[in-house]
Structures are given as C-alpha cells and as structure tokens.
Amino acid sequence: MSKVRRIAIAVVAVAVGVVALLLVAEQRQGRDAKPLPGTALRVLGPQRAILVGTAVRAAEMRDNRAYRQLIAQQFSSLTPENEMKWALVEPERGTFEFKFGDYIVEQAEKAGQSVRGHTLIFDSQLPGWIAELDSREVRQATEQYIRRVVGHWAGRIAVWDVVNEPLTALGELKRTPFPSKLGRGHIATAFRVAHRADPKARLHINEAGAEAIGPKSDRLYELVRELRAQGVPIDGVGFQVHTNLGGIPPTFVDNLRRFAALGVEIAITEADVALKLPPSAADLRAQARVYGDIVRSCRAVKACRQLTVWGFTDGRSWISELQPGNGAATILDEDLRPKPAFGAMQRALSP
Ligand code: G3I
C-alpha cells in the first residue's frame, strides 16, 4: 500500500473515531426537555418581586441536557446543592477545588441567573482534616477558608449562606466542631470576614426547622437581633422549609414578619415537600397545596424576595437518596414532567 493511501486510511479512521465519540457524548446528554406548560416560574416570580431558584448539581447539568435546559428556562437563581461545601472545596488543607462551583456560576451567568453560595460554615460535609486541628488552628483555617472562597467568587455570588444550621432543635448553638473550637463569636467573625472578601455579596444565616414561632426560632431571632445590634454585616435570614404533608406551620408568616421587622431580608432557601412512597394522586394534590402555601407565605411578607426549591425533579432529590421510604418531594417527576405542585407554584405566583 502506498504511503499516501496509508495516511488517507488513518485520517478516515481518526475521523470515524471522533464522530463516534461525539455521537456517544451526544447520546449521553439525552433528549431536549419537553416544554413545561404555562408561564415559566422565572417569568412569574419577578411580577411578585420574588426570585424563584433551585438547588442544582454540577455533574447533572453537564451531562443531562434536559435538566440543564429546564434550569435555564424556569429559574432565576441557582444554589449549588453540594459543590460549594467545605469538604468538596478544600478536601486537603490548602488544596482548593473550584471547578464544580465555577461551572455552576458560569452556567448561571450565561442564563442571566444569580447564584446563592451555599455554604461557608456548616457542621456537615466538613473535610476530615478539620478534626485534627486545635482551637487556634480551626479559627485560622476557617477565616482563611472564607477569605479564599468568597474572594474566589467575589462579584459573582449575589447571596452567601454564611452560616448554615448553627442551632440545635432546641435553639442551642451546636457544639461540634463549632463553636466549641471557635468560640461563641465565630458567627460574627464569619460574617465580618465574608463581608471584607466581597463587600457586595448579601450575607445570610440559613436555618432548618425554624419556620414556626417556638424555642428554636426564638433563639434564632435573638441571635440575629444581637448580631444586627453589634453592627455585624448580616443582611438576611434563610428559612429552609423542608417539609411534608404536615405542611407549613400556621405561625410561619408571623414568624417571617418579626424577623423582617429587624430590618433583614427573608429567603425561603430549600423548599421541598416529602411524600411517603409510593404517593397516591391525593398525596400529589395535597403536596401541591403545600407548595402553593409556601409561595403565598413568601408573598405575604414584603421582605421575602427569594424562594428556592431544593431540587426540582424527583429524579435528583436528596429526599429519595437519604430518607428511605420517602421521596417524590419536588415539583417535577423523575421524567421531568410537571406534577400538580408545579401548577400550584405557577398559580400562587400569578397576579
Ligand atoms: O459524592 C459522594 C459519592 O462519591 C459517593 O459515591 C456517594 C455514596 O453515598 O456519596 C456522595 O456524597 C453524597 C453527597 O450528598 C453528594 O451526592 C453524600 O453521601 C450525601 O451525604 C450528600 O448529601 C447532601 C446533604 O446535604 C449532606 O449534608 C445532599 O445531597 C444535600 O441535598 C443536603 O443538603 C442539605 C443542605 O446543604 C443544608 N440543609 C439541609 C439539606 C438537606 O439535608
């Protein structure tokens, strides 16, 4: 065989290989999203002065076209579900991994969405190396971490959950490893360091199970009041609202109002409504009512400017992954088709 012929065969083989790889990659991306009925949540929300957001997963966005398209079509704000947590961002001390968070920020910027950074100080998903440090070193590592991470995304993250779930069910400050190793002042310090690293980012405290007026939300209220009185740069309070068919507590709106009266903005940050599996049609209707109530609660309080769902498809939700027997907690089913809850959110956001 002549040399020219051998080269031609090689070129064709490489081209066929490249095309095959592209086809496989294309197939792995899956189909386009089926359009969802009615007006997109990201169009309805602003008519009510509410940014409607969702928690997202970077790997899924990269690999699943329909998932990515629906995020761009329906939401105005993205919260990385895990990608900005300490264990993932600084797995080894001093070694930072920003690429997953960067990907989400880039996608959000392309789609004209804002990003809610989640989260700087949280007792879950901490890197293992923290446990080896003494109090002085934990303080140092925490401040360095906040400076580095907030600085990395400075100007690109609208809101940070600076401190996440600091309180126990009874409203005590959690012990491990914060604040036992940091001292009680760590919350104020975290806000101050974050503010210096990105003066434009709005800084929130984000709490779970503090929706009702009661011991836990009372302590949270006192904490926020004290921080404000001390001049700590805290701009807002996030209420997670992980719930089930028990719905939202009757005191929720009054609770939001008393926090708003402190001069802070309010966000609903992680809404979902877990169902027992398999859910009946009546369960799905009842779930829709709860989603509608969540939206209406935010609408009832002027300071409530952001409402984020903790995932938008039952195929990608922490409830089915981490709570055996429960699931179906989101507004779209596993095949990205709308559940009654999606329509309920649209109606509750409509003028
Ligand atoms: O990444 C590993 C993977 O490599 C491994 O194979 C797999 C095996 O279990 O685990 C994967 O890590 C999981 C991670 O999610 C990413 O999927 C962890 O086990 C799992 O614990 C982790 O759960 C997250 C949870 O926070 C941890 O605290 C959930 O996805 C996330 O939705 C959840 O989010 C929290 C908010 O941050 C704060 N508020 C409550 C909310 C729900 O728990």
Question: From the candidates 81, 165, 207, 211, which is the catalytic residue?
Answer: 165
For residue 15, the number of C-alpha atoms closer than 13 Å in the C-beta half-sphere is 6
Q: Ligand 1 center to residue 92 CA distance, Å?
A: 19
Strands (E), 57-142: 77-80, 114-121
Distance CA 338, CA 36 (A): 7
* Ligand 1, pocket-test mutation among 54, 57, 81, most atoms within 8 A of CB: 81
Determine the pLDDT at residue 21: 63
Distance CA 309, CA 242 (A): 9
Is 274 in contact with 324 (CB distance < 8 Å)? no
CA-closest residue to ligand 1 atom 28 = 124
| 87 CB near ligand 1 (under 6 Å) | no
212: how many CB neighbours lie within 10 A of its CB?
A: 15
Is 289 in contact with 344 (CB distance < 8 Å)? yes
Q: Ligand 1 center to residue 85 CA distance, Å?
A: 10
Q: Ligand 1 center to residue 90 CA distance, Å?
A: 16
Give the angle subtended at the CA of 117 by the CAs of 343 and 196, to the nearest 5°. Answer: 145
Cβ-based neighbours of 59, under 8 Å, separated by 6 or more: 100
* Ligand 1, pocket-test mutation among 124, 161, 206, 330, most atoms within 8 A of CB: 124
pLDDT tens track of the chain, all 351 residues?
Answer: 677 777 777 777 776 666 666 556 666 678 999 999 999 999 999 999 999 999 999 999 999 999 999 999 999 999 999 999 999 999 999 999 999 999 999 999 999 999 999 999 999 999 999 999 999 999 999 999 999 999 999 999 999 999 999 999 999 999 877 777 887 789 999 999 999 999 999 999 999 999 999 999 999 999 999 999 999 999 999 999 999 999 999 999 999 999 999 999 999 999 999 999 999 999 999 999 999 999 999 999 999 999 999 999 999 999 999 999 999 999 999 999 999 999 999 999 998
| 270 CB near ligand 1 (under 6 Å) | yes
Q: Ligand 1 center to residue 124 CA distance, Å?
A: 9
Bridge partners for 161 per DSSP: 118, 204
254: how many CB neighbours lie within 10 A of its CB?
A: 13
Cβ-based neighbours of 81, under 8 Å, separated by 6 or more: 55, 56, 57, 118, 310, 311, 318
* Ligand 1, pocket-test mutation among 57, 61, 82, most atoms within 8 A of CB: 82
Distance CA 166, CA 179 (A): 9
Q: Which ligand 1 atom is at minimum distance from the Cα of 317?
A: 32
The question of whether 83 is a catalytic residue gets the answer no
The question of whether 270 is a catalytic residue gets the answer yes
CA-closest residue to ligand 1 atom 19 = 322
Is 250 in contact with 293 (CB distance < 8 Å)? no
Q: Which ligand 1 atom is at minimum distance from the Cα of 119?
A: 37
Helix, strand, coil percentages (3-state) for the chain, rounded to 5, are 45, 20, 35
Is 167 in contact with 219 (CB distance < 8 Å)? yes
Q: Ligand 1 center to residue 318 CA distance, Å?
A: 7
